[in-house]
Structure 1
């Protein structure tokens, strides 16, 4: 299954997708992103260039989150972590909507907590959180 990558880059007013290197990236399974996608649309962001404001993630491109946008994204991801902690160890999503594949709670929590850790680091260092779509 395809993956989405998250990383941190230094803040720049002229930041574009061309400036992003996927060093120390955290990968998140595409099926999980699809499941979270509606709630990710609640977060303001920038697509491909830091000055092109939008909402949610750029599924096929690069998304930038800065400041309060990171805080908002982190809050949503923390809510999902709380929910998934109550899931069985293995489960599937509704087949008509999501890819039919098993989800493993341990993997989901690891991926989400890794992105949350990146959010914390980006906020602490006043950097930009970057999502790199499939």
Structure 2
């Protein structure tokens, strides 16, 4: 896609600090890092959300994120992938963040608004989703 910043990075039109590259995957340092070593792992296949990417273009993404975590020495880290605006996606090209969490102040800060479980509703949801998987 012509206007996609990540596609421009893939084509070499915009420079990056490349950490890994294969025929299907590119990983580079984030230019607006949340912590030291914050990197992005992207498929070279353009798609806005995870469901837009063929499985064969997804196979390297998590192994590369794992390599980056190991390379940075991160013991605590987040792997983050957002889909859609209300899920906080800004760039419309699938990307995984590998964000080291060296201490309480650096890295990704999140809250987890856990809700009380309605077991009957959970069972109904299970019965709805399971046949589709």
Superposed pair shares fold, TM > 0.5: no
Q: Quick check: which has more Rg, 1 or 2?
A: 2
Give the TM-score range, shorter chain.
under 0.3
Which structure: greater strand fraction? Answer: 1
Which structure: greater helix fraction? Answer: 1
Q: Which has the higher contact order (CA 8 A, sep 6+)?
A: 1
TM-score (norm 1): 0.27
TM-score (norm 2): 0.28
